[in-house]
Amino acid sequence: MKYFIKNVYFAVAFFALVSFYQDAFAANIATTTPEQNVILGILEENANPMAYPDGIHKNYSREIRVVFQKDGPEWKAFPAQANTQEALAAFISSYPAEVNWTIVFNRKSLGQLTSKTQQSWKYYSNVGFQDIESNSPIPTIGKRSRDYSGYLSEPVYRPLIAVSQSNFKDPEGWKPSALPADLIKLARQQFRQKFPKVENCTSPEENIARPWPYQDSDIKITKTYSSNKGWAIAQLRLGESRCDYTDDDAFYDQWFAISPGKEVVFLDKGMWLVDAGDYDNDGKSELVFAINRENRGGYELFYDNFKKHSIFEFGYH
């Protein structure tokens, strides 16, 4: 009898252990199951100096701009580029009427907000705006700065990611970091391949552009980030143009991604990193950049190890 009881005890313990690991495995799978219909927005501050005739006082406002949605395996941008007020008005029906958001930054939840799509957008650059409806405190990081103002050049608070699900982890652990010498060399080589010929002036007063045999030391590494998966991204640009004006892309910020296998991929120009996070809960991080170009604004989202990306871009005029 005692052997029977002992065998029953071990059987119960065995099945309990199996059940525990099955539950744990299922929970782990659940936490990495991609979520559909996830919406990404950006909590922005906007300054409108034209609201006051003296041009000094500014009408600051906070809105959430709806920018991307997960559609099946892909991230897609909401419609943003309009050439007429009629086209801009037609976009409104493509946007969600109301969204409950989690505001996130640097792998942390900063709070929840609810916002509703505005009934009309007065300017092309207002596309995607929702009015914040909830009475919760609006999260803010740091002080106002022109670093975040884009084309309008008015100091504003840092934009923050808004996600329609409580997804704010960054499993790839993106953070600022210095690039080792071999990756800097690779990035500069790629820059040279993209810009083999560049012209520059002796001075703004002379303002005559001539071929410029720039050196590696002229290619500035201005910002770099790396992940715990061995990826890195770098912002490069040439030293300052000495012409009165130049439209040569080489003098503007250029972003490159470097894989763990040391392959270098060009991403885009004229943008800065807003944040990184696993916003669709698929176990991989997405990176969101803000567009900062002449008369252009918006956001770019990179995913699937930089093999894919989506662009939400608008014009100011």
What was the pLDDT predicted at 274? Answer: 98
What was the pLDDT predicted at 240? Answer: 85
Which residues have C-beta within 8 Å of that of residue 264, sequence separation ≥ 6?
186, 187, 189, 190, 256, 257, 258
Domain assignments of the chain as residue spans, ordered by start? 1-31, 39-163, 175-277
Residues 63/130, Cβ–Cβ less than 8 Å: yes
Write the single-letter amino acid at 63: E
Average pLDDT per consecutive 10 residues, the chain (317 residues; last block may be shorter): 40 39 38 73 83 58 96 95 94 97 96 96 95 92 92 89 96 96 96 94 90 94 97 94 86 96 96 97 97 93 97 93
- Report the relative pairing of strands 210-211 and 160-163 from DSSP bridges: unpaired
What was the pLDDT predicted at 216? Answer: 94
Residues 297/125, Cβ–Cβ less than 8 Å: yes
Alpha-carbon gap, residue 110 to 102, rounded angstroms: 7
What was the pLDDT predicted at 24? Answer: 39
Alpha-carbon gap, residue 179 to 170, rounded angstroms: 20
What was the pLDDT predicted at 15? Answer: 39
